Amino acid sequence: MLFRREEPVALGKRAVAVLRALVERQGVVVSKQALIDAAWPNLVVEDSNLVVQIASLRRVLGEESGGERWIETLPRRGYRFVGPAEIGIGDQGSGEQGIGEQGRISDAPRAAEPPLAADATTLTLPAQPSIAVLPFQNMSGDPEQEHFADGMVEELITALSRFRSLFVIARNSSFTYKGRSVDIKQVGRELGVRYVLEGSVRRSADRVRTTAQLIDALSGAHLWAERFDGALEDVLDLQDRIAARVVGEIEPRLAQVELERGRRKSTANLGAYDYYVRAVANCYPTTKEQSDELLALAYEAIELDPAFASAYGIAAWYHTRRAVNQWTADGAQERASALQLARQAAELGKEDAFALAWAGYVFAFVSRDVERGAALAERAIELNPNLALAWGISGWMALVLGQPEVAIDRTARAMRLSPLDPFMRGWQNSMAIAHFLASRYDEALAWTAQALRSDADFATPWRIAVASHALAGRIEEAKSACARLRQLEPQLRAGNFRDLMGPLRPADLAKWEEGLRIAGLPE
């Protein structure tokens, strides 16, 4: 049901179904076919039927200020909802069409609203074969072997990701299902994939047994199940055998050269890899103590394998995070350490997408060497076209280089590859900045609202909301948002804003500063 404040709005069930499909993917392009499937399930209808419903929605939404622009048309791609909205879960079965949710159009970012339930998301299947590898169950009876099982899955995802003919969901999204009993069809819907690989690992003495089963997520049918046995010293070969079996099942036309490409390993030292897996288990620490622990694990991996490029890359990332969040008394030393490690990651990891992506970010953010950072991110995407991390970093680079449209496309790619990523708020924030720089202030506000749903105290989206309201002429809303921003960042001033931001172009920073000043941020 659609509400205008507390009053229900009369809409036909087809229009409501279209609106729901758009709002659930707020800010993201939804294809015409996906909208038709939502409103006319199991029916074949002309595109003109959808056009009629979109026009009906625009007439209703147009009764709100600026509402006629809340549904964007993207030629040859579909439609996108860019207006503000809050989703509230109502009684199941309420409403004519049994949606069980109530949508209210609001006129400001709702920072404290909870995120949408995971099962509310509808993603269109990619054109190429798509797969998610879920965390394997540790059958060893030893909790210490949990990281070994995770490492097996990590390598499988990495090996499959290098195949350009496949669409592979990122590890950060796959691992949100760890320790949960899941419905494979629901996983397929939430991640937008056709296939799901699950299994178990048993490590005993010097032997490893892995079972794996490939499932069609649309039908729930098991395509195959197989057991793989081997010596512990051959575990990397074991991973290759599983990856090759999966690829042979879902995309038998893949060239042998791609199969060989997928077998490249970043390290042959199992001990180093175990420490690395633990280090990347939480790439986005929220406390100094977490960063201390994760950085120590990265250094353990480096000590065991001094040529392990990815370990240098993740260590450089953590040093940068510590400096940015002021989790250290010597920020200059943290930045120097980050740069040194990034140089080693780039030198050692010429064929390691993870190492190059992290190194590229550090070069751009810490030393302001944006061109070098962007080149490394591009190389990472070339090596691994399914690496969400690289696409997200590349999107951020495009922002820095003053290319908001490129940033939107690349960030959207990262979000699709990892729809449940813990860093989703960062990508939503990048989307907001890109639309702000393109002077699409309503779209920028829609994205800030999404970023704030997961963390109402995330300061950067508030900076965007303040300037967007101000430059759009909504001064009262700008002043209200500015008051909240000053609570979160009492040290922030118009005069020191540039020092706290990344290396954006001077003209873009000046525009942002202008919005903050209009809203009343002191000098």
For residue 418, which of 200, 130, 184 has the smallest C-alpha distance? 130
Going by C-beta distance under 8 Å and a sequence separation of 6 or more, which residues neighbour residue 455? 425
- Over residues 68-94, the mean pLDDT reads 69
- Over residues 85-97, the mean pLDDT reads 43
User: Which CATH number describes the domain made up of 2-107?
Assistant: 1.10.10.10
Q: How far apart are CA 319 and CA 506, in angstroms?
A: 26
Q: What is the pLDDT of residue 279?
A: 77
- Over residues 47-61, the mean pLDDT reads 80
Q: Report which of residues 233 and 495 the model is more confident about.
A: 495
Q: What is the pLDDT of residue 56?
A: 78
Going by C-beta distance under 8 Å and a sequence separation of 6 or more, which residues neighbour residue 340? none
Number of H helices, E strands in the chain: 22, 12
pLDDT digits (tens, 9 = 90+) for 205-233: 778 888 888 888 888 888 888 888 878 77
Which pair of structure tokens corresponds to residue 241? 């055998």
Least confident of 80-84, 144-148, 339-343, 518-522: 144-148
Residue 212, strand partner residues:
199, 226
Q: How confident is the model at residue 267 (pLDDT cuts 50, 70, 90)?
A: low
Q: How confident is the model at residue 255 (pLDDT cuts 50, 70, 90)?
A: very low
Task: Supply angle C-alpha 114, 118, 121, rounded to 5.
Answer: 105
Q: Report which of residues 91 and 224 the model is more confident about.
A: 224
Q: What is the pLDDT of residue 68?
A: 78
Q: Report which of residues 134 and 523 the model is more confident about.
A: 134
Residue 72, strand partner residues:
80
- Over residues 280-303, the mean pLDDT reads 84
Q: Report which of residues 499 and 73 the model is more confident about.
A: 73
Backbone angles phi, psi at 289, to 5 degrees: -60, -40
- Per-residue pLDDT at 495 exceeds 70: yes
For residue 492, which of 455, 469, 451, 463 has the smallest C-alpha distance? 463
Q: How far apart are CA 132 and CA 321, in angstroms?
A: 29
- Over residues 494-507, the mean pLDDT reads 82
CATH architecture under which domain 404-523 falls: Alpha Horseshoe (1.25)
Alpha-carbon dihedral angle through residues 207, 211, 212, 213, given to the nearest 10 degrees: 170
Q: What is the pLDDT of residue 377?
A: 93
Q: How confident is the model at residue 157 (pLDDT cuts 50, 70, 90)?
A: confident
How many CA atoms are closer than 13 Å to the CA of 82, on its beta-carbon side?
Answer: 21
Compute CA distances 144 → 13, 137, 426, whole Å.
53, 13, 32
For residue 445, which of 471, 469, 420 has the smallest C-alpha distance? 469
Tokens 């199940």 — which residue? 225
Which pair of structure tokens corresponds to residue 75? 């030629």
- Per-residue pLDDT at 240 exceeds 60: yes
- Per-residue pLDDT at 444 exceeds 60: yes
Q: How far apart are CA 515 and CA 469, in angstroms?
A: 8
- Per-residue pLDDT at 256 exceeds 60: no
- Per-residue pLDDT at 73 exceeds 80: yes
Q: How far apart are CA 141 and CA 451, in angstroms?
A: 40
CATH C-level class of 287-384: mainly alpha
- Over residues 420-443, the mean pLDDT reads 90
Domain regions of the chain by residue span:
2-107, 130-265, 287-384, 404-523
The 3 state secondary structure assigned to 46-108 is: CHHHHHHHHHHHHHHHCCCCCHHHCEEEECCCEEEECCCEEEEECCCCCCCCCCCEEEEECCC
- Per-residue pLDDT at 149 exceeds 80: yes
The percent helix, strand, coil of the chain (3-state, each to 5) is 55, 10, 35
Q: What is the pLDDT of residue 99?
A: 28
Q: How far apart are CA 392 and CA 451, in angstroms?
A: 15
- Over residues 104-116, the mean pLDDT reads 34
Q: Report which of residues 281 and 113 the model is more confident about.
A: 281
Q: Check for a shared fold between 287-384 and 404-523.
A: yes
- Over residues 62-79, the mean pLDDT reads 80
CATH C-level class of 130-265: alpha beta
- Per-residue pLDDT at 500 exceeds 80: no
- Over residues 271-286, the mean pLDDT reads 75
Which pair of structure tokens corresponds to residue 208? 């490893």
- Per-residue pLDDT at 514 exceeds 90: yes
The H or E element containing residue 225 is strand 222-231
Q: How far apart are CA 275 and CA 301, in angstroms?
A: 5
Compute CA distances 37 → 14, 43, 454, whole Å.
11, 8, 29
Q: Where are the beta strands (DSSP E) in 121-221?
A: 130-133, 137-138, 167-168, 195-204, 207-216
Residue 103, strand partner residues:
2, 87
Compute CA distances 285 → 234, 291, 318, 321, 322, whole Å.
33, 6, 8, 8, 9
Going by C-beta distance under 8 Å and a sequence separation of 6 or more, which residues neighbour residue 51? none
Average pLDDT for the chain: 81
Q: How far apart are CA 188 and CA 193, in angstroms?
A: 5
- Per-residue pLDDT at 8 exceeds 60: yes
pLDDT digits (tens, 9 = 90+) for 158-192: 878 877 778 899 988 999 998 888 899 989 988 98
Q: How many residues does the chain have?
A: 523
C-alpha 500 chain-centroid distance: 24
Looking at residue 14, its amino acid is R
- Over residues 422-433, the mean pLDDT reads 90
